[in-house]
Chain A
Amino acid sequence: MQVAIENLRRWLTTLAVAFAAFSATAQQVMLDVQPRTMRLNETAVMKLSFVDVPMPQAPALPEIPGFQVHFVGQETQFQMINGRQQHRLSYNFRLQPLATGQFRLGPFTLTVNGQNFDLEPVMVEVLPPANAAGGDGQATIDELVFARLNLPRTELYLQERFDVELSLYYRGVQLDRTIQLQNLPSTGLNLDEFQELGGSRENINGELYDVRRFRMRATAMTAGTFTLDPMVRVHVLVRREQSRDPFGFDAFFGRYEAQPLVVPAEPLAVNIRPLPADGRPGNFSGAVGQFTMDLQVQPTEVTVGDPITLTVTITGRGNLETIAMPAIELGDDFRRYDPKLIASGPQQKVFEQVVLPRTDQLSAVPPVTFTYFDPQQAAYQTIVRGPFPLLVKTGGATQPHLFQTPTVASSSIRQPLGIDIIGPKRAPESWTPVIEPGRATAWPSPLHLAPVAALMVALAVQRRRDALDRDVSRRRRALAPRSARAAIREAEAALAASDPHAFYAALWRAFADYTAHRANLEAGEVSPELILRTFAPALPTGDRDELGVLLAVCDETRFAARSSDHPDAARLKRHLQRTQEWLRAFERISVSCV
């Protein structure tokens, strides 16, 4: 195995030389093996990850005694972190163990572009195969699935924050992802939501268990003794014994069913003690944990009345949410504003207090005192920062020196983002004029009203069509001018052909079709008398007689034999013109008024 490690070390060194040819800035290289505990007939995956390293070629691993190594593939991942793109390239290798025992891979030092990266050693344990280890055919469910509870200490103090860890061990059974914790204490302890930490494998008494770990943040709220006796409710996936459906449709709904199983964890008694009264400082305000305090005072040279900002940063683990601005004895020489909490995180709080000196007799900002109880030391601790020397001038117009208020946002953007900016961009593909975003309105052109107008017109046409479909007399009224125009066109053709017989027949059709549509009659029901009775009363007296004459001519010509006499073209033209005039006049006459 030592030879294997040496070979691997040489391979990594060779790889480092190859990477040195690339000029990009390397950020991080990591080596990981999962799972780290396995049986001889199982495999693990070794992952070598390069974060922000230029794309290397696919590496070839040397022979590693004790393992067969096969290249599986590579993964590429892009992530945006604080607006900066992170590139992660990972090479995966399958490790097939050839012998049992404990193997230590690393530590290694990898050199990329002259920069050294220390790779943490990885311990890999290979166990004999399951059958060789004695088998588990006779194991009970308690041996196959069990839970363990873990606390850092069982003697705790009031208001102390601590972690409760729960580990679920299982082997030889399949569990689904759902899990519930039951029987948690409802008083004395304040438990946050539990979160899963990730999985691993462990060798317990020669048996290999899959382990799921969970953590809860807890706060001791009441003094006394409490028993943590949680029950873990899981679901074991069991293969259905046989199909309940004779047609086999059960197969569509899965061949496994989840059976609930409640797994008890070994109970743990927790003794919560009150905070000791002996040695409690007067300014103690309830902070319990381990903390540090940092204090900044700026500016330190001011004029009377100028603001001085005190920024207090408290960092640590404990009941941070209950901590307020530490006490400061300013006296009457300072005017003070209320302190403000300007940033808060899981392990940090930042307060800001602005004070203004009232007199130039001041030479220092008084010290700030913060007292907390350290449960590990079982003692009260006091942190004092200051006094800070101060120079106060009278009057004058000195420019006060302020400082940038630290905020959560500013701290996040001050993370390392890279060493240089991203290079210039190429020219746009086309140089179309740029739209001014603020000038353009949502409706910049009347053109956008066109579809509304088109829709309204379409709706009006549709409505009219529907109305005509419902009312026959109205539809025929609308058809009247069209039918008359068709007959007039025939009359014009007959006039051009010098055929008076066809001409007068067409004129008669014009009158007859028009009147039939207007009066909602059949064409055969129309007579010259009917036309005159319907329309003539509304015409001037002269026109009435002339219309009667024309209708009589039409009647005579239609029923008379065709003549070979040369027609009087001027007369025909006049009759055609008068017919058109009368038909236009008929349009203005209401049939109901006749």
Chain B
Amino acid sequence: MRVMRCFLFALLLAVGFPAVSGHAHAAGPEAEPAALFEKAHAAYVAADYATAEHVYRTLIAQGHATSEVWYNLGNTLFHAGRLGEAILHYRRAWLLAPRDADSLANLNLAAQRTGATLPEPGWWSRYAHEASASEWRIILLTGYWILLAAALLAVIAPGFRRFARPVILAALFTIVLGAAGWSYWHAWLRQPEAVVLHGEQTARYEPRTSATPYFSLPEGSIVRIEDTFDAWMKVAAGGKSGWIERSAIEPVYPWQPGGMR
């Protein structure tokens, strides 16, 4: 029984572990981010978008980059007329909460205003977008722990063996489900998205300013980063690939070097 208690404790600890593991910024007192959020919201309501933006960015810099903060920052920038940056932050909100219809709706509206094209997800992407990367990971780990717990119980408690098979099959199914979703996001992060921040940009055949223009990207266009070379990035959009200056775009994934602004 002591072994069982230890195992259950470890199970609870590990399933809860993903919520507190990984890279996390130091959190301040509970009241501080809430107060900052309210302050930013008040500034937003008062149409003081400069203050609202500053406070939301302070929250992000403190490590409270929740989907709500990204979304509200997107709204602030939308009203400030900076549609490219608004699209960037809506996409970041979507990255953390892909089922949130509000961020997707505002993203579409902002893209409609700028004339930007948005990537069309296939059936596989639509499946993976049902949950965030963290959620898929929790599903995967939950299946893993249930699988091993069931196997352990089957070994140490012979009376459990008749229940073990369905539990193990369910756990394996959960693992496959979680691994599929998580692997999608893992691949997504290896070839990350970026957003054209300001004005219409021209993608060129080669990474130099005198190269022949290939196609144009309106403000707010979401592109895939394929390669980098000095101050240039090779991006893909609408089935075409071209080189664009690195300063014109910003990666959607905010934690990579140069990603946070």
Binding site for B on A (CB under 8 A): 80, 82-85, 305-307, 397, 399-400, 402-405, 407, 409-410, 413-414, 417-418, 420-428, 430-440, 442, 444-445, 447-448, 450-452, 454-455, 458-459, 462
Contacts and interface: CB of A to CB of B under 8 A. Distances in A.
Nearest to A409: B120
A442 B27 CA distance: 24
B18 interface: yes
Interface in B81-114: 95-96, 101-102, 104-112
Contacts of A421: 75, 78, 105-106, 109-110
B169 interface: no
Interface string B204-217: 00000010110111
**Residue in B13, B24, B217 with the greatest tally of chain A CB atoms within 10 Å:** B24
Interface of B: 3, 7, 10-11, 13-14, 17-27, 30, 33-34, 37-38, 41, 44, 63-66, 68, 71-72, 75, 78, 95-96, 101-102, 104-112, 115, 117-120, 132-134, 137, 140-141, 144-145, 148-149, 151-152, 155-156, 182, 185, 189, 202, 210, 212-213, 215-218, 238, 240, 253, 255-256
A420 B238 CA distance: 27
Contacts, number: 190
B218 to A, nearest CB: 6
Given A405-B215, A424-B72, A442-B140, A435 B18 contact: yes
Contacts of B238: 405, 407, 409
Contacts of A433: 20, 24-27, 63-64
B108 to A, nearest CB: 4
Contacts of A84: 105, 108-109
A425 to B, nearest CB: 4
B101 A424 contact: no
Contacts of A399: 202
B75 to A, nearest CB: 5
Given A431-B33, A451-B149, A438 B75 contact: no
A409 B120 CA distance: 7
Given A417-B109, A435-B24, A402 B202 contact: yes
- Give the secondary structure class of A's interface: loop
- Give the secondary structure class of B's interface: helix
A38 to B, nearest CB: 41
A403 B102 CA distance: 30
Contacts of A409: 117-120, 238
Nearest to B153: A458
A447 B13 contact: yes
A279 B218 CA distance: 46
B75 A424 contact: yes
Given A425-B72, A450-B10, A403 B216 contact: yes
B174 to A, nearest CB: 14
28 contacts: A85-B101, A307-B213, A397-B210, A404-B217, A405-B240, A409-B117, A413-B118, A417-B105, A421-B78, A423-B75, A424-B41, A425-B102, A427-B37, A431-B27, A431-B33, A431-B34, A431-B64, A433-B26, A434-B63, A436-B24, A437-B95, A440-B18, A440-B23, A442-B140, A442-B182, A451-B7, A451-B148, A458-B3
B105 to A, nearest CB: 5
B19 to A, nearest CB: 7
Given A402-B216, A409-B120, A459-B155, A428 B10 contact: no
